[in-house]
Structures are given as C-alpha cells and as structure tokens.
Amino acid sequence: MYAEVQHRPTAAGHAHLDRRISNATKPAFCARKHSAGQTLYREGDTAHYVFEVLTGVVCQSRVMPDGRRQIIGFGYPGDFTGFPANGQHHTDCEVVADGQVVAHRRDALENGRTDPELHMRLINAALHEITGMQDHCVMLGRKSAREKTAAFLSALMDRIGTPLGNYIQVSIPMSRSDIADFLGLTTETVSRTFTLLRDDGLIALENARNIIVLRPEDLRDLSLTE
C-alpha cells in the first residue's frame, strides 16, 4: 500500500469523501506516492501545505547537529501535521507506515475566507497539537523509562488497538529506534522495558511488532503514576 499525498486547494467537506486529485499550482507535490521511509517535508522547507493523515502513520522529528534525534510526535489517522511558523516547517516529517495523506493549502490555516470550515478544523487541530505536546513534555521531563513506555503503549492501544476478548491487541508500526527517539531513551532501554512489562504480566510479546495488552487498566495507571 502506498501513501498518496492528495492536494485539496479549496474543497470543503470531510476529507474522506473527497479523494480525487486536483490540478494544482504546485503539481510536483500533488498526488505523489509515499511509502514508509519517504519524507513529506524537512526542517527549513517553505510550508506550502498542512497535512492530514487519513491512513498509515507519519512522524515528526528534529535532528541535532551531532545526529541525536528527538521524535516530536507520531501522526495517526485523523491527525494533522506540519503546522508552520514564519511560513516554514521546523521539523522533518516522514512516513512510518504506508497510508494516505491529504495536503491542505497552508493559507486555509491563516485565512478563513476561502474555506471557513477547513479553517476552523485546522485551528482546532493546532490547539490540540499544543495540548498533546504539553503531555509529551511532562513525559519527557518527569517520567521514568517504565512510565514513558507504558504511556506510549497506552496511547497506541487507545489509538490503534483492537479488542481481543478481555485483552487488546496492538500492532506497533514503528521501530524500537523510533520509539526510543520519541520517549527520549535508547533502543536498548526500550527493549529492556518491554521485557519488564512482559515479566510483570502487563503485556505479552507476540513478536517485535505485535503485542497484546493483558491488563489495559494497569498499563494506563502506570503511565500516570508509578
């Protein structure tokens, strides 16, 4: 499955209902296929679009000059990404799991005249982005590796988990390295912490990319207070 970037210059209405690819002024960017590993935008790029994830998963990251990387956030279906400041992107954004992405013209964010409904949706998405990043800061600054990992799995469970009797199955779309860079840890610590959560009976590890949450409530509690 490939990720398609769809360009919607003015059309209103719910994104899922409008998947045609329009002729736009920047055709090089429209309807380009995107699959895992490909880049939607890079830090410093002029921000022509704000992106809406329909399916698949994307991630925003910043890389320090010496290579250290921090993942700012993952974008799951329904999320927006790529809010600009001073007309520029300030993170890299790449596709983690193939899917479809809609590119909304940036001016819809700043100007309500052309499409008031989209304008409102984008503003609300930006405000939710702020709140989500506040959560992320608390996690990065004040939680232990165990709490971070539990918080990450809880969020994943709530976003893309599928019920399995009393349990919840979660397929993890990103690598251990992505998880580590999201949580401010190393891959080794993430791996070890997964093992600990398994030993405590909170989760079962089918394989590296698929887990089953055995005690969803306990996992959620763990992410709030140790």
**d(Cα 15, Cα 22) in Å, to the nearest integer?**
13
C-beta of residue 59 within 8 angstroms of C-beta of residue 93: yes
Task: Write the binding mask 130 to 169 for DNA: x where contact by CB under 7 A, - elsewhere.
Answer: --------------xxx-----------------------
Is residue 69 within the footprint of DNA (CB under 7 A)?
A: no
C-beta of residue 61 within 8 angstroms of C-beta of residue 91: yes
| Rg of the chain (C-alpha set) | 18
Q: Residue 192 CB, nearest distance to DNA (Å)?
A: 5
User: Among 21-29, 41-49, 159-167, 183-191, which window interacts with DNA (CB under 7 A)?
Assistant: 183-191
User: Among 70-78, 89-97, 113-121, 178-186, which window interacts with DNA (CB under 7 A)?
Assistant: 178-186
Binders of a second copy among residues 99 to 158 (CB under 8 A) are: 109-110, 112, 120, 123-124, 126-131, 133-134, 136-138, 140-142
Binders of a second copy among residues 22 to 51 (CB under 8 A) are: none
C-beta of residue 11 within 8 angstroms of C-beta of residue 68: no
**d(Cα 95, Cα 35) in Å, to the nearest integer?**
6
**d(Cα 22, Cα 78) in Å, to the nearest integer?**
21
Task: Write the binding mask 94 to 133 for DNA: x where contact by CB under 7 A, - elsewhere.
Answer: ----------------------------------------
Q: Which residue, chain included where needed, has tokens 């469970």?
A: 157
Kind of pairing between the strands at 92-97 and 167-171 = unpaired
Paired with 102 in beta bridges are 6, 52
Please count the helices (runs of H) and the strands (runs of E) in the chain. Answer: 6, 13
Q: Residue 188 CB, nearest distance to DNA (Å)?
A: 4
Is residue 159 within the footprint of a second copy (CB under 8 A)?
A: no
Residues of the shown chain interacting with a second copy in the complex, contacts defined by CB under 8 A: 60, 62, 64-66, 68-70, 72, 83-85, 90-91, 109-110, 112, 120, 123-124, 126-131, 133-134, 136-138, 140-142, 181, 183-184, 224-226
